[in-house]
């Protein structure tokens, strides 16, 4: 989970640690199974060091969930920046391509075979994701996310088809 | 220049691609042009041919006929009375008194009765018969009145048996002094011979000598004299005043020219009604066909224009292209129409044989030709202009995706058909998809059957009239028969054109629907039956309507008592129509239904 | 147990000599009842042709086609029509619905054509529309429906005579991602109910949901694999940790 998500959760008003945790768990819904509260407090600590968040202790209790966290002006700025940010993870196909190149050059393996095995794995993953998607209720967040996963694996598979055509013809 | 060549090439390519449709369009336009031509030529026949005839032949205002008392001959006293009438102050001029009698006439195996009038010369102060072929009686020949000559099938140079003696026919003439053949006896006849009671004589002129030679006690001479009045419009009054003076025996009988004119008009009117009605039907049918044909092409044209525009053609080029193809078709059709119309017109003016209408016969004047061309080209330009205008108005994109006429939904028919077995269900729904086309089918069939029924009625009436075997043809019925046959031919052509087109487009339209139906289990035979049903339903309605309309029409047109044709004939006509419809539909349907479904769906 | 569909040495050729195209080239395939098979391959590999041959929509050049233990390839058009009426349902990529009929009228049409009384056919059609989730649109005409909705109506129509086998040719070809999901859910339910499904597709997602995947290339079968059943949950796949 990104730092900025936690920052944004504090944008409306300051809140206690346990409140923050509850909000996150609610928002994730069924995906909350993988959520680790400890990591959240570590993140909050880092944010405090970076000057984006301030925290105040409650009386004499020294437990992170009882602390009150609040955004600073810098923190607010950061949230606004983040909301309009359009960075997107880049697809990274170069490694696989290099694998094929060195396999062919060194006669270590048949590139077409390599592609075929990769394909089978991706198909397996696609199948998993699609089945999981169909198991979720229509229109739920989970099904939407899984649709995204499915589509991206599908795109990769299409690219692998193109690779196969290209490498197969080069033989 | 290269643009013009491109334009011509595209137009030619397009015509070749849609050859069938273009041929149908051409035929429809040609038939419309033919009808228009005939109508114009007939209209060009003087509206009042009797008046013209009267003028040209110096027709009489009053016809005086002196009949003897029964079983007696005309006395000198009687003839004196005739001279008195001729000397009346209201009379401005008079002809000589012509001896007239009735005798048998035979020619080409047809025997009839002739009213023979003795006139050595055709010139006279009143009534100068116009010789239209040959010459006047001369030494010993006879001249026949034109309508009678037509009915007897006699022409100049023939020899006829007049009163048992062979005489040459030296001429044919027209006169306004008599009622139209065969209504001569409305002025008065003496027909005492056995078998002549219901005869309808025609007029023959011969020498005085010959006529006086035909004088017999049974067939005494009657004297005709033709009078002109100072005031022709006063003729009926003159006649009435004279008639009030006592018993007719021994006194001349007078007839005013207005009576004769009325009878001529009546006869002409009947013929005109027939032609007018037939012509209107034809034009209606042609227009309906044109609407469907042109309308059917409309979306195609719009798309074509869209494609041209997308390829960069200017609006001017596009308009030019459309006009080129359509104008070529239109001009060709107009010419064919004029030619055919000219050929057919003489057939339809026979009954005015007794009158002088056109000096030059039935020719197509320059004005007529111009009107026909104008009308046809007008229609054609409209057909071209609408898609051009629409395409110019809408964006190229919309023109390209114009999917044309969508099938409409008719809830009642859909609900009704749900209760029928498979093929009938499909057939009815197919009809419902394109109701306008179904209406056109029904209409075409109705028109064709109507015309066929009228012909059948005319045929049977003609046969009934010819009760006395070998008599001359009753011109009116014969004329009606000719008119209806000619129009029926044209109507049949039009109806066939319609039927072929509608059947073809229905089959094409139904192709996809039937293919889909076959994917859910409809067999080829059932599909063919469905298509047949979709055509037969409107056709059957059309047949029924056609019969009723035809019978009503004949009753309205015919002045004589119409005879109903034999049931077998009517049934035969109905079956023939059904047979043609089924053949036109079922054959392509059966063939289509055998094609693999995948092929059909791929095409669409 | 007789297979629902079986083809032996099936071939479909077009043209001659140099122009000879082997659309389907010596294919053997057997599909037991209740199985869901997906046929994949690049475009032009002959999968649609194979499906059409199985459904009797086209005649093979050689080979045998058996549906429910009855031989189909040499049968008359009439017999094949009967087969399509009672045993095989076909779904097209282009839907092929009749524009002037409403959704429910489109669906009940095969039942009416098979001789079912109109009231019964109507009831069956409405039930099927509910099954495919189109109950609220039964009075709409195809022009008023989206691609996904039309495809669902087409599927309902193919099922109205309770066919043993449902053949679908690119059922999601014209649909967007969301509509595709809807169709896939529908197929899932049908499969759970024991319907035999043979689906031709080039869509990865549709292919991933079947029990068995058959690949074709240049008219021939090149691969025939059973796809393993999986039991992964959404959470496993979407690992939501607190890492960056």
Instruction: Give the Cα separation of A109 and A95 in Å (integer).
Output: 16
Instruction: Give the Cα separation of C95 and B515 in Å (integer).
Output: 13
Q: How many CB atoms lie within 10 A of CB B368?
A: 21
User: Residue B340: CB partners within 8 Å, gap ≥ 6?
Assistant: B30, B34, B37
| β-strand pairing of C196-200 with C165-169 | parallel
Q: Residues B226, B60: contact at Cβ < 8 Å?
A: yes
Give the tens place of pLDDT for each residue, B101-118: 888 888 888 888 899 999
Q: How many CB atoms lie within 10 A of CB C185?
A: 17
Which residues of chain B neighbour C101 with C-beta distances below 8 Å?
Answer: 409, 414, 429
B407–C100 C-beta distance less than 8 A: yes
Which residues of chain C neighbour A42 with C-beta distances below 8 Å?
Answer: 242
Shortest CA gap C196–chain A (Å): 19
SS3 label, residue B136: coil
Instruction: Give the Cα separation of A18 and A67 in Å (integer).
Output: 9
Which residues of chain A neighbour C237 with C-beta distances below 8 Å?
Answer: 128-129, 132, 146, 149
Confidence tier at C169 by pLDDT (50, 70, 90): very high
Give the tens place of pLDDT for each residue, B7-61: 788 778 777 777 777 887 888 888 888 888 877 776 666 556 777 788 888 889 9
Confidence tier at B347 by pLDDT (50, 70, 90): low
Instruction: Give the Cα separation of C147 and C172 in Å (integer).
Output: 9
The predicted complex's ipTM stands at: 0.76
Taking CA–CA distances from B601, the nearest residue in chain C reads C96
Which residues of chain C neighbour B598 with C-beta distances below 8 Å?
Answer: 49, 52, 57-58
A130–C205 C-beta distance less than 8 A: yes
Confidence tier at B468 by pLDDT (50, 70, 90): very low
H and E: helices and strands count for chain C? 8, 10
pLDDT of residue C242: 36
Least confident of A81-85, B93-97, B152-156, B406-410: B406-410
Q: Residues B290, B21: contact at Cβ < 8 Å?
A: no
pLDDT of residue A25: 81
Shortest CA gap C187–chain A (Å): 11
pLDDT mean over C109-123: 87
H or E element at residue B92: strand B91-107
* Chains touching A (3+ CB pairs < 8 Å): C
For A47, A82, B502, the CA distances from A86, given in Å and listed in that order, are 22, 8, 62
Which residues of chain B neighbour C78 with C-beta distances below 8 Å?
Answer: 523-525
| β-strand pairing of B252-256 with C62-67 | unpaired
Give the tens place of pLDDT for each residue, B548-570: 888 887 777 665 566 777 788 88
Mean pLDDT, chain B, integer: 78
A36–C241 C-beta distance less than 8 A: yes
Query: Among C203, C228, C239, whose Cβ lies nearest the Cβ of A34?
Result: C239
Query: Among C78, C92, C118, whose Cβ lies nearest the Cβ of B418?
Result: C118
Query: Among C188, C233, C240, whose Cβ lies nearest the Cβ of A35?
Result: C240
pLDDT of residue C243: 39
Instruction: Return the residue matching tokens 């009765």.
Output: B113
Give the tens place of pLDDT for each residue, A39-69: 888 888 888 898 888 888 776 667 777 788 8
Which residues of chain B neighbour C81 with C-beta distances below 8 Å?
Answer: 518, 521-524, 526
A40-49: long-range contacts, CB 8 A cutoff, minimum separation 24 = A40/A1, A40/A6, A40/C242, A41/A17, A41/A65, A42/C242, A43/A1, A43/A3, A43/A6, A43/C242, A44/A6, A44/A17, A44/A20, A44/A69, A46/A3, A47/A3, A47/A6, A47/A7, A47/A75
Is pLDDT of B92 > 60? Answer: yes
Instruction: Give the Cα separation of B459 and C12 in Å (integer).
Output: 62
Backbone angles phi, psi at C225, to 5 degrees: -120, 145
Most confident segment among B277-281, B346-350, B430-434: B430-434
SS3 label, residue A159: helix
Instruction: Give the Cα separation of B272 and B280 in Å (integer).
Output: 12
Taking CA–CA distances from C182, the nearest residue in chain A reads A138
Which residues of chain B neighbour C55 with C-beta distances below 8 Å?
Answer: 519
pLDDT mean over C20-48: 89
Instruction: Give the Cα separation of A78 and B177 in Å (integer).
Output: 120
Instruction: Give the Cα separation of B341 and B41 in Å (integer).
Output: 9
Q: Do chains B and C touch (3 or more CB pairs under 8 A)?
A: yes
- Indicate the burial class of C222 (C-beta count within 10 angstroms; 0-12, 13-18, 19 or more): exposed
Interface contacts B/C by beta carbons within 8 Å? 92
Query: Among C114, C141, C143, whose Cβ lies nearest the Cβ of B521?
Result: C114
Query: Among C230, C232, C235, whose Cβ lies nearest the Cβ of A31?
Result: C235
Interface contacts A/C by beta carbons within 8 Å? 99
In eight-state DSSP terms, residue C232 is: -
Q: Residues B384, B14: contact at Cβ < 8 Å?
A: no
pLDDT of residue B218: 75
Q: How many CB atoms lie within 10 A of CB B84?
A: 11
Is pLDDT of B475 > 80? Answer: no
* Chains touching B (3+ CB pairs < 8 Å): C
Confidence tier at C244 by pLDDT (50, 70, 90): very low
Is pLDDT of B358 > 50? Answer: no
Instruction: Give the Cα separation of A112 and A104 in Å (integer).
Output: 10
Which residues of chain C neighbour B596 with C-beta distances below 8 Å?
Answer: 57-59
Instruction: Give the Cα separation of B488 and B445 in Å (integer).
Output: 12
C242–A43 C-beta distance less than 8 A: yes
Shortest CA gap C84–chain B (Å): 5
Shortest CA gap C52–chain B (Å): 7
pLDDT mean over C94-114: 86
Shortest CA gap C36–chain A (Å): 14
Confidence tier at C32 by pLDDT (50, 70, 90): very high
Q: Do chains A and B touch (3 or more CB pairs under 8 A)?
A: no
Taking CA–CA distances from A35, the nearest residue in chain C reads C241
Q: Which residues of B touch C (CB under 8 A)?
A: 406-409, 414, 418-419, 421-422, 425-426, 429, 432-433, 512-513, 516-526, 593-594, 596-599, 601
B512–C100 C-beta distance less than 8 A: no
Q: Residues C59, C72: contact at Cβ < 8 Å?
A: no
User: Residue A139: CB partners within 8 Å, gap ≥ 6?
Assistant: none
C98–B516 C-beta distance less than 8 A: yes
pLDDT of residue C153: 93
Instruction: Give the Cα separation of C6 and A93 in Å (integer).
Output: 42
B-facing residues of C in 78-137 (CB < 8 A) are 78, 81-86, 90, 92, 94, 96, 98-102, 105, 108-110, 112-115, 118, 121
pLDDT mean over B260-269: 77
Q: Is A46 on the interface with C (CB under 8 A)?
A: no
| Overall size of chain B counted in residues | 604
Query: Among B414, B518, B598, whose Cβ lies nearest the Cβ of C105?
Result: B414
Q: Residues B584, B500: contact at Cβ < 8 Å?
A: yes
For A8, B15, B141, the CA distances from B337, given in Å and listed in that order, are 86, 20, 43
Q: Residues B337, B130: contact at Cβ < 8 Å?
A: no
Q: Report which of B344, B184, B324 is spatially closest to residue B278, judged by C-alpha positions.
A: B344
Query: Among A28, A123, A138, whose Cβ lies nearest the Cβ of C240?
Result: A28
Is pLDDT of B360 > 50? Answer: no
Query: Among B406, B408, B519, whose Cβ lies nearest the Cβ of C90?
Result: B519
Question: Helix %, strand %, coil % for chain C, to 5?
Answer: 35, 25, 40
Test the C interface: residue of B431, B521, B522, B604 with most C CBs within 10 Å: B521
* Residues B21, B22, B25, B26, CA torsion sign: negative
Instruction: Return the residue matching tokens 């000397």.
Output: B87
Instruction: Return the residue matching tokens 């504090």.
Output: A10
Instruction: Give the Cα separation of C238 and A128 in Å (integer).
Output: 12
pLDDT mean over C187-204: 91
Backbone angles phi, psi at C183, to 5 degrees: -65, -40
C110–B520 C-beta distance less than 8 A: yes
C112–B422 C-beta distance less than 8 A: yes
pLDDT mean over A137-153: 85
C-facing residues of A in 86-125 (CB < 8 A) are 123-124
pLDDT mean over C183-191: 90
pLDDT of residue B412: 77
Test the B interface: residue of C12, C14, C77 with most B CBs within 10 Å: C77
Shortest CA gap C53–chain A (Å): 27
Query: Among A1, A149, A161, whose Cβ lies nearest the Cβ of C237?
Result: A149
């Amino acid at each position: 989970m990104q730092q900025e998500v936690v920052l944004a959760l504090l944008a409306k008003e300051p809140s206690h640690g346990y409140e923050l945790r509850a909000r996150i768990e609610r928002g994730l819904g069924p995906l909350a199974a993988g959520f680790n509260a400890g990591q959240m407090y570590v993140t909050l600590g880092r944010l405090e060091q970076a000057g984006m968040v301030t925290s105040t202790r409650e009386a004499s209790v020294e437990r992170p969930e009882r602390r009150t966290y609040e955004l600073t002006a810098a923190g607010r700025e950061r949230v606004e920046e983040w909301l309009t940010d359009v960075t997107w993870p880049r697809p990274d196909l170069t490694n696989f391509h290099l694998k094929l190149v060195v396999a062919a050059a060194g006669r270590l393996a048949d590139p077409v075979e390599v592609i075929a095995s990769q394909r089978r794995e991706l198909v397996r993953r696609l199948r998993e994701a699609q089945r999981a998607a169909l198991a979720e209720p229509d229109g739920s967040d989970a099904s939407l996310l899984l649709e995204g996963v499915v589509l991206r694996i599908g795109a990769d598979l299409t690219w692998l088809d193109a690779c196969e055509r290209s490498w197969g013809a080069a033989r | 220049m290269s643009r013009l060549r491109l334009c011509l090439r595209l137009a030619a390519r397009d015509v070749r691609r849609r050859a069938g449709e273009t041929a149908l369009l051409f035929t429809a336009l040609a038939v419309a042009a033919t009808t228009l031509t005939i109508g114009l030529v007939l209209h060009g026949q003087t509206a009042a041919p009797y008046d013209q005839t009267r003028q040209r032949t110096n027709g009489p205002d009053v016809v005086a006929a002196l009949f003897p008392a029964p079983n007696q001959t005309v006395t000198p006293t009687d003839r004196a009375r005739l001279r008195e009438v001729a000397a009346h102050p209201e009379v401005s001029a008079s002809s000589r008194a012509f001896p007239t009698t009735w005798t048998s006439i035979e020619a080409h195996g047809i025997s009839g009765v002739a009213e023979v009038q003795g006139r050595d010369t055709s010139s006279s102060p009143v009534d100068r018969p116009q010789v239209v072929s040959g010459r006047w009686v001369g030494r010993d020949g006879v001249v026949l009145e034109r309508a009678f000559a037509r009915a007897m099938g006699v022409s100049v140079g023939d020899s006829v048996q007049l009163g048992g003696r062979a005489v040459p026919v030296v001429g044919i003439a027209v006169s306004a002094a008599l009622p139209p053949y065969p209504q001569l006896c409305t002025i008065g006849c003496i027909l005492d011979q056995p078998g002549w009671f219901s005869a309808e004589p025609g007029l023959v002129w011969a020498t005085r000598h010959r006529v006086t030679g035909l004088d017999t006690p049974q067939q005494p001479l009657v004297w005709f004299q033709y009078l002109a009045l100072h005031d022709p419009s006063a003729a009926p009054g003159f006649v009435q005043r004279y008639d009030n003076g006592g018993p007719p025996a021994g006194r001349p009988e007078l007839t005013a020219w207005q009576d004769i004119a009325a009878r001529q008009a009546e006869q002409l009117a009947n013929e005109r009604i027939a032609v007018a009605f037939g012509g209107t039907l034809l034009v209606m049918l042609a227009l309906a066909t044109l609407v469907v044909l042109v309308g059917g092409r409309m979306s195609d044209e719009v798309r074509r224009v869209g494609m041209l525009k997308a390829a960069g053609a200017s609006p001017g080029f596009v308009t030019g292209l459309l006009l080129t193809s359509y104008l070529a078709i239109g001009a060709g059709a107009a010419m064919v129409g004029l030619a055919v119309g000219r050929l057919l017109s003489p057939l339809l003016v026979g009954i005015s044989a007794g009158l002088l209408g056109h000096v030059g016969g039935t020719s197509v004047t320059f004005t007529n030709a111009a009107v026909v061309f104008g009308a046809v080209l007008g229609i054609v330009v409209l057909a071209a202009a609408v898609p051009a205008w629409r395409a110019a108005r809408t964006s190229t994109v919309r023109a390209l995706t114009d999917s044309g006429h969508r099938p409409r939904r008719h809830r009642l028919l859909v609900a009704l058909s749900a209760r029928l077995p498979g093929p009938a269900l499909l057939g009815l729904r197919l009809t419902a998809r394109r109701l306008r086309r179904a209406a056109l089918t029904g209409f075409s069939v109705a028109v064709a059957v109507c015309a066929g029924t009228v012909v059948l009625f005319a045929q049977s009436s003609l046969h009934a009239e010819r009760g006395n075997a070998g008599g001359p043809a009753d011109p009116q019925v014969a004329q009606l028969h000719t008119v209806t046959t000619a129009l029926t031919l044209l109507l049949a052509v039009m109806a066939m054109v319609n039927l072929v087109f509608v059947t073809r487009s229905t089959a094409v339209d139904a192709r996809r629907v039937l293919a889909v139906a076959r994917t859910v289990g409809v067999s080829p035979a059932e599909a063919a039956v469905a298509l047949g049903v979709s055509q037969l339903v409107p056709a059957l309605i059309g047949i029924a309507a056609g019969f009723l309309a035809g019978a009503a029409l004949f009753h309205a047109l015919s002045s004589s008592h119409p005879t109903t044709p034999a049931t077998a004939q009517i049934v035969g006509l109905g079956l023939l129509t059904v047979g043609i419809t089924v053949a036109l539909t079922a054959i392509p349907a059966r063939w289509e239904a055998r094609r693999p479904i995948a092929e059909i769906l791929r095409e669409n | 147990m007789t297979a629902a569909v079986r083809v032996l040495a099936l071939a479909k050729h077009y043209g001659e000599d140099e122009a000879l195209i082997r659309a389907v080239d010596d294919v053997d395939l057997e599909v037991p009842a209740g199985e869901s098979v997906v046929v994949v391959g690049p475009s032009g590999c002959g999968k649609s042709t194979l499906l059409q041959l199985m459904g009797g929509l086209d005649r093979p050049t050689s080979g045998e086609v058996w549906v429910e233990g009855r031989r189909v390839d040499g049968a008359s058009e009439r017999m094949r029509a009967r087969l399509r009426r009672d045993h095989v349902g076909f779904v097209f990529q282009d839907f092929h619905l009749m524009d002037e009929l409403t959704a429910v009228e489109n669906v009940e049409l095969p039942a009416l054509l098979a001789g079912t009384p109109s009231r019964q056919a109507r009831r069956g059609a409405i039930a099927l529309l509910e099954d495919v989730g189109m109950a609220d649109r039964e009075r709409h005409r195809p022009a008023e429906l989206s691609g996904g909705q039309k495809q669902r109506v087409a599927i309902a129509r193919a099922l109205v005579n309770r066919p043993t086998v449902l053949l679908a040719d690119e059922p999601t070809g014209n649909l967007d991602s969301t509509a595709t999901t809807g169709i896939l859910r529908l197929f899932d339910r049908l499969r759970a109910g024991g319907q035999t499904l043979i689906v031709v597709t080039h869509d990865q997602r549709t292919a991933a949901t079947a029990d068995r995947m058959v690949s074709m290339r240049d008219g021939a079968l090149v691969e025939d694999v059973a796809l393993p059943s999986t039991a992964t949950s959404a959470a496993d796949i979407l690992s939501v940790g607190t890492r960056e």
